[in-house]
Amino acid sequence: MEVCCTSGCPRRRIFIATLDNEKSYVYDRDTGALTKGSVDLETLARQAAEDEIRKAALEDGILTQAQTNAEAYLLKFFTALGYRTVLFEE
């Protein structure tokens, strides 16, 4: 028996990259006496940080590691189901 996982399989992707709001905080925020300050400043800073987290994960090869892990899991799964040959194709 043979099973083949081809391009019809779900593509690997990052679903979420977020800060832990319980463990993050604004260290210092000085809006100045004569300025209104940006109401969205903290939101924009968090969004920029989350973008950097996503970028760092991609640069570190998280998608390649996800592919390797998924193939290892599926290989064990299909082998346990009795398949002797498992092929992964792009």
pLDDT in tens, 15-67: 888 888 788 777 776 666 655 667 677 788 888 999 999 999 999 999 999 88
Mean pLDDT of 1-28: 72
pLDDT at 46: 86
CA 32 to chain CA centroid, Å, is 37
What is the three-class DSSP state of 24?
coil
The conformational region for residue 16 under phi > 0 = left, psi -120 to 50 = alpha, else beta, is: beta
